[in-house]
């Protein structure tokens, strides 16, 4: 007898739920969480045509002239992160969603995951002003977090990759799978993989933490989505 495993992004359970009222599954009731595996952090970057060299200057610039920002789609982590920042900074920047992260990089101000923008940062085409999360990333040393710059409520937006089993899977199977994955996460090979692609280590390790993270994420993003005016599809 085998078991069906979902290995994928948290957005399939969080953002998708908030943007689609007719999903054929319930993000909490339909799955048995196993563990988070890694995350892809989000941040705010600007093109070299923008004069702002830090977040304070960007806020001042946004209050003096119209600006736009891109993400790789409505309801994606970077979109929600920037909407949260806009609200906290009391500025209005027009969102221009693109169909994917590559065309999104052509926008004036973009919020993208580090892996995607890394080559552009290294070439100087983009300047990273702030990252989401509770601490600075070792992959972008010297780049502050939103919270360290005074925007305490601006966090999240990162893409979490996790493992889930179908609801009703025996607890013994969930436990065994989690134990096996934790062993892999601690391996040298896996951590080399994280460094190679600038991914971040998992935080919501284990079934309880992943379940709690999913609930908290839904509660976090629901008011942002409602305030931003893009309703769930019927």
Residue 78 located in a structural domain: yes
Integer angstrom CA distances of residue 152 from 67, 173, 182: 23, 39, 31
Work out the number of other CB atoms within 10 angstroms of the CB of residue 222. 14
What is the Cβ-side half-sphere exposure of residue 15, based on CA atoms within 13 angstroms? 19
Structurally, how many domains does the chain consist of? 1
57-66, 118-127, 194-203: segment of lowest average pLDDT: 118-127
Q: What is the pLDDT of residue 106?
A: 42
Residue 175 located in a structural domain: no
Which strand (E) or helix (H) includes residue 213? Answer: helix 207-228
- 165: tokens are 């089993």
Q: Would you say residue 138 has pLDDT above 70? A: yes
Q: Would you say residue 225 has pLDDT above 90? A: no
Q: Give the C-alpha separation, 26 to 28, whole Å.
A: 6
Q: Would you say residue 108 has pLDDT above 60? A: no
Residue 27 located in a structural domain: no
What range does the domain containing 80 cover? 43-149
- 68: tokens are 């736009």
Residue 116 located in a structural domain: yes
In terms of C-beta density within 10 A (0-12 exposed, 13-18 middle, 19 or more buried), how is residue 124 classed?
exposed
> Strands 109-110, 126-131: parallel, antiparallel or unpaired by DSSP?
unpaired
Q: What is the mean pLDDT of residues 146-158?
A: 81
Work out the number of other CB atoms within 10 angstroms of the CB of residue 85. 24
Identify the band that residue 99 occupies on the pLDDT scale cut at 50, 70 and 90: low
> Are 78 and 72 contacting, i.e. CB atoms less than 8 angstroms apart?
yes
Q: Would you say residue 205 has pLDDT above 70? A: yes
Q: Give the C-alpha separation, 201 to 60, whole Å.
A: 34
Residue 61 located in a structural domain: yes
Work out the number of other CB atoms within 10 angstroms of the CB of residue 78. 28
Q: What is the pTM of this model?
A: 0.79
Residue 159 located in a structural domain: no
CATH assignment at residue 91: 3.40.190.10
Tell me the per-residue pLDDT of 160-190, one tens digit each, with 9 for 90 and over: 899 999 999 999 999 999 999 999 999 999 9
Work out the number of other CB atoms within 10 angstroms of the CB of residue 116. 20
Q: Would you say residue 84 has pLDDT above 80? A: yes
Comparing CA positions, the residue from 80, 111, 38, 37 lying closest to residue 220 is: 80
Residue 102 located in a structural domain: yes
Better-predicted residue by pLDDT, 131 or 110: 131
Q: Give the C-alpha separation, 30 to 134, whole Å.
A: 30
Identify the band that residue 201 occupies on the pLDDT scale cut at 50, 70 and 90: confident
Residue 224 located in a structural domain: no
């Amino acid at each position: 007898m085998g078991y069906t495993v979902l290995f994928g992004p948290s957005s399939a359970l969080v953002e998708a739920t908030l943007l689609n009222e007719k999903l054929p599954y319930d993000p909490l009731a339909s799955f048995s969480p196993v563990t988070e595996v890694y995350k892809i952090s989000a941040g705010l970057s600007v093109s070299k045509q923008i004069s702002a060299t830090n977040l304070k200057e960007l806020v001042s610039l946004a209050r003096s002239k119209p600006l736009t920002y891109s993400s790789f789609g409505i309801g994606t982590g970077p979109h929600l992160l920037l909407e949260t920042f806009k609200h906290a900074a009391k500025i209005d920047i027009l969102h221009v969603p693109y169909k994917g992260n590559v065309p999104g990089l052509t926008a004036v101000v973009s919020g993208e995951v580090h892996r995607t923008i890394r080559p552009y940062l290294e070439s100087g085409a983009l300047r990273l002003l702030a990252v989401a999360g509770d601490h600075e990333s070792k992959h972008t040393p010297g780049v502050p977090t939103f919270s360290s710059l005074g925007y305490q409520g601006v966090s999240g937006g990162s893409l979490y990759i996790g493992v889930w089993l179908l609801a009703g899977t025996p607890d013994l199977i969930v436990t065994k799978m989690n134990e096996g994955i934790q062993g892999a996460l601690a391996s040298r090979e896996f951590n080399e993989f994280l460094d190679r692609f600038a991914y971040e280590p998992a935080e919501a390790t284990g079934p309880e933490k992943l379940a709690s993270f999913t609930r908290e994420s839904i509660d976090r993003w629901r008011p942002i989505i409602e305030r931003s005016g893009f309703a769930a599809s019927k």
